[in-house]
Amino acid sequence: MGEETVEAAVAEASVEKKAKVISCGLDIGTMNIVCARSDSEEIKIMRNVFLELNPDEINISDLSDISYIENEGHIFIIGNDAFRLANIFGKEVSRPMEKGLISSKEINAIDVLTIMIQSLIGDIKDKEMYVSYSIPSESIDEGRSVTYHEKVFGRVLAALGVNYKAINEAMAIVYSECSNEKYSGVGLSFGAGMCNVCCAYKGIETFKFSTSRSGDWVDKNSADSLNMVKNRVTSFKEKHLNLQVGFQKEENKKTRRVLESLTYFYETLIDYTIKRIIEEFNKNVDTELEEPIPFIISGGTSLPDGFLELFKNTISKYQLPFDVSEIRRAKNPMTAVAQGLLIKTISDVASKK
């Protein structure tokens, strides 16, 4: 064995040794579960839904390309495939989470949820795995506690044999996006079930809260006002909504009507969130922030074009109790939370050594 080869082998062995400690960021959202691992550039995303089918309803051989879990004679189709098959069978998918928190209706399917998370986290054999998972803040407009949600996912991760820690979802956005500002900023996560807000100053949370108004709230209120099914409105939103272009130019009358409704509820959502930020800051922060801080907008509900501009326009109408340096969108609104969680996990693991 030549000198170079020995060196290469030693380097490889050392990489292998290092690779045994794996950090992971797990964003558990109402609509999606997102997972980022320190040993991979790939960030995995899975729809947080499943569909239970009786074995009499489907032939196992028909499921060759479909993600599913077999559990004591039951078949659970998971992720995007659940949506597809639900339409075929005329069934409703089960959603383990509701308004940002674990749903008590689906808690008995905890095994299914655990396997979904296991498949996202991936291989942990012979690895020391550290996982930070996202939790929302207590909601200011709904009296639901976060404790149960936090404990359920703690148990799920314990069952998978990993080290785990719960971290606030909006704070994770600051970890992900505010490195240049030394982790000062306001992270906003407009998810499906909740809007989470966290104001951080130099890496420390100053105040945080959540509201129950976000994507599902917009869809439900639009659907109610148009006398439509919510899923249909969601589909319109995902396909057609552009808050920058507006709804006036839409030629199809029905689509225009839905888009107009969605636009109004988006405006109300943003206005409501900004008002709550001002209120909560005044209530919780006594000192003045020394430097202007940025607003970072993230989450699936913030994806339509024009959301950022609408947010900027709305906030400009208010006198904020602190200076804002910039309002920007997270680089990857769908994965920012998972990435922030991963950064915090790596930092925590490094501090341990």
Partner 1 sequence: MTKLLIKKHGLTIRIAGLPTFRTPAEIDITKIDINLVLSELKKHGIHDYKIKTEDKKVIEQLKSDDEHIRVELVGSNDEILNIIKEQNETINNLKDLLIKFINSDLKDNVKQKEKPLVKINEIEEVEEFIPTINLGKSKLKNSSTKSVKIKSDYKDSANNLKNVLDKKE
Residues 6+ apart with CB under 8 A from 323: 289, 291, 292, 293
As given in the structure block, the two tokens for residue 66 are 């479909």
CB of 225 to partner 1, least distance (A): 32
Q: How far apart are CA 195 and CA 273, in angstroms?
A: 8
Nearer to partner 1, 171 or 270 (CB): 171
Are 293 and 325 within 8 A, CB to CB? yes
Are 76 and 67 within 8 A, CB to CB? no
CB of 118 to partner 1, least distance (A): 7
C-alpha angle 80/117/296, rounded to 5°? 80
Nearer to partner 1, 202 or 275 (CB): 202
Nearer to partner 1, 26 or 270 (CB): 26
CB of 152 to partner 1, least distance (A): 5
Contact positions vs partner 1 (CB under 8 A): 23, 36, 38, 41-46, 63-72, 79-81, 107-108, 110-112, 114-115, 118-120, 148, 151-152, 155-156, 159, 175-176, 179, 182-183, 202-204, 332, 334-335, 339, 342-344, 346-347, 350-351
Length of the chain equals 353
Q: How far apart are CA 192 and CA 301, in angstroms?
A: 6
Nearer to partner 1, 66 or 228 (CB): 66
CB of 204 to partner 1, least distance (A): 6
CB of 221 to partner 1, least distance (A): 29
CB of 114 to partner 1, least distance (A): 5
What distance lies between CA 349 and its chain's CA centroid?
Answer: 23
Q: How far apart are CA 25 and CA 132, in angstroms?
A: 5
Nearer to partner 1, 28 or 334 (CB): 334
CB of 205 to partner 1, least distance (A): 12
Other CB atoms closer than 10 Å to residue 244's CB: what's the count? 11
Q: How far apart are CA 87 and CA 19, in angstroms?
A: 43
CB of 340 to partner 1, least distance (A): 9
What distance lies between CA 311 and its chain's CA centroid?
Answer: 20
Nearer to partner 1, 119 or 255 (CB): 119
Within 13 Å of residue 350, how many CA atoms lie on the same side as its CB?
A: 7
Nearer to partner 1, 70 or 305 (CB): 70
What distance lies between CA 298 and its chain's CA centroid?
Answer: 9
Nearer to partner 1, 116 or 315 (CB): 116
What distance lies between CA 333 and its chain's CA centroid?
Answer: 9
